[in-house]
């Protein structure tokens, strides 16, 4: 997902990744569901725990969890050969349109019929909707993972900025109000997941990344968003270019860190860090957006998958729907309403984002077919645009052309990157 999450590789997850090469051994075993995921960080260990707990219920068909860092490349290979296709996989939300367009996903119709509680009403709407294409449900959601903003409680008090949190919407103007008031070496905000934060700003300005199915990067809304966030940098309130703003937040020198829900576990390991979480800062006083994605369960087309395995998959996914509070330990927001409404989930910091409808609506998942190309361009250029190293008009035109060129080169196929 990003380098911070990727760095959290545990022994369990690493061991699982080493097993990836032999993951195909159960492909034709009627008593085993082969389940592939790209969960190479600490989250892979939590998924192992969920799979183990399910298998301990003594199901008719057990699940084997296989983790690999290059899962999407491997999926492409097995789909091309038609051999070794996993029974079940986790994919990211932005992958769904491309896979569906290429007719590579099997609809979840039979799975949903086998377990009637696997239905729209029982999941967070964005996560469910990310797997619905033209009225057909191709995935069952596991979670929402979002760009959020952590704050240093001690620094907020020190600089009299606690009122910024009163309406849960920290604005660029509020951030700029601290210009000239910070001690040397302190900053208001870092540049963690800056590309994600900027994609959220487009929504705050009621813009979008596509128009009539065509990519829209060079837009007035994106220009305004960049100009407004650039003001923070120009005022000396953003951590210096090239510095690790994430670690600077953990060291106690930054008021706000715009990283991810999954980072809560890492921040909590810093004993001296007294922190909380809120929405990512906004260029609008009227709206806030936390750019998000989702891990989704999917079945790739596989003629060798037995009906019994589909029944087993349905049972496993129903178990996950009821028991995925374990997944919250990885800093994720489970997609199951039963879980997010439970007292146990309320103990987790990320429950802030499911406390009411307005917060849930703030978790925005882009589902545009060519979103991965746009995200790649944004991540490539946004740092230089905000830092003033590249002219905004020139940069937006360059980004627009690069996205259009990649779409043309791919023949209209969706990008192979996922988040």
Rounded to whole angstroms, how far apart are CA atoms 374 and 377?
5
In terms of DSSP H, where are the helices of 260-370? 264-268, 307-323, 325-328, 337-340, 357-362
Give the pLDDT of residue 286: 95
- Alpha carbon of residue 159 to chain centroid: 32
Residue 106: burial class (beta carbons within 10 Å; 0-12, 13-18, 19+) = middle
Rounded to whole angstroms, how far apart are CA atoms 366 and 375?
10
Domain range list for the chain:
3-142+294-355, 146-291
Name the residue among 246, 242, 275 with its Cα closest to residue 260.
Answer: 246
Alpha carbon separation from 18 to 50, 164, 334 (Å, rounded): 19, 47, 27
Contact 61, 14 (CB under 8 A): no
Give the pLDDT of residue 4: 42
* Assessment of whether the complete model's pTM goes beyond 0.85: yes
Please state the CATH superfamily assignment of the domain spanning residues 146-291 in this structure. Answer: Periplasmic binding protein-like II (3.40.190.10)
Q: pLDDT tens across 339-370, in order?
A: 999 999 999 999 999 999 999 999 999 999 99
Per DSSP, the three-state class of 296 is strand
Give the pLDDT of residue 20: 39
Domains 3-142+294-355 and 146-291 share a fold: yes
The answer for residues whose C-beta is within 8 angstroms of residue 322's C-beta and 6 or more apart is: 336, 338, 339
* Regions of the chain where pLDDT drops below 70: 1-28, 412-419
- The CATH architecture assigned to 3-142+294-355 reads 3-Layer(aba) Sandwich (3.40)
Please give the full DSSP string across 142-191, using - where no structure is assigned: -EEEEB-EEEEHHHHHHTT-GGGGTTS--BHHHHHTTTT-SPTT-EEE--
- Bin 170: left if φ > 0, else alpha if -120 < ψ < 50, else beta: beta
Give the pLDDT of residue 21: 40
């Amino acid at each position: 997902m990003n380098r911070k999450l990727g760095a959290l590789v545990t022994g369990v997850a690493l061991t699982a990744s080493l097993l990836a090469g032999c993951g195909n051994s159960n492909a034709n075993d009627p008593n085993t569901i082969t389940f592939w995921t790209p969960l190479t960080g600490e989250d892979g260990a939590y998924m192992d725990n969920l799979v183990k707990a399910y298998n301990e219920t003594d199901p008719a068909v057990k699940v084997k969890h296989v983790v690999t860092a290059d899962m999407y490349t491997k999926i492409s290979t097995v789909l091309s050969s038609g051999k070794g296709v996993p029974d079940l996989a986790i994919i990211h939300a932005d992958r769904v349109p491309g896979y569906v367009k290429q007719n590579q996903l099997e609809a979840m119709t039979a799975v949903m019929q086998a377990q009637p509680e696997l239905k729209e009403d029982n999941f967070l709407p964005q996560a469910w909707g990310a797997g619905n294409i033209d009225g057909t449900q191709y995935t069952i959601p596991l979670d929402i993972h979002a760009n959020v903003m952590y704050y240093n409680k001690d620094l907020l008090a020190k600089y009299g900025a606690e009122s910024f949190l009163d309406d849960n919407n920290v604005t660029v103007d509020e951030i700029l109000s601290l210009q000239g008031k910070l001690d040397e070496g302190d900053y208001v905000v870092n540049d963690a997941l800056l590309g994600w934060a900027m994609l959220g700003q487009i929504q705050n300005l009621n813009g979008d990344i596509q128009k009539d199915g065509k990519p829209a990067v060079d837009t007035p809304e994106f220009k305004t968003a960049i100009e407004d966030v650039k003001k923070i940098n120009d005022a000396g309130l953003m951590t210096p270019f090239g510095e690790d703003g994430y670690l600077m937040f953990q060291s106690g020198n930054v008021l706000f860190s715009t990283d991810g829900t999954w980072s809560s576990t890492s921040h909590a390991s810093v004993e001296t860090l007294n922190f909380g979480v809120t929405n990512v800062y906004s260029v609008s006083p009227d709206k806030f957006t936390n750019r998000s994605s989702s891990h989704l369960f999917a079945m790739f087309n596989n003629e060798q998958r037995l009906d019994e395995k589909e029944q087993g998959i349905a049972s496993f996914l129903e178990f996950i729907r009821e028991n995925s509070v374990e997944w919250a330990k990885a800093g994720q927001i489970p997609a199951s309403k039963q879980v997010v409404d439970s007292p146990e989930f309320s103990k987790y910091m990320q429950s802030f984002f499911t406390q009411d409808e307005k917060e849930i609506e703030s978790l925005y998942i882009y589902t545009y077919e060519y979103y991965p190309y746009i995200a790649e361009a944004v991540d490539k250029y946004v740092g230089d645009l905000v830092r003033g190293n590249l002219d905004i008009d020139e940069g937006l035109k360059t980004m627009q052309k690069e996205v259009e060129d990649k779409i043309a080169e791919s023949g209209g196929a969706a990008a192979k990157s996922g988040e």
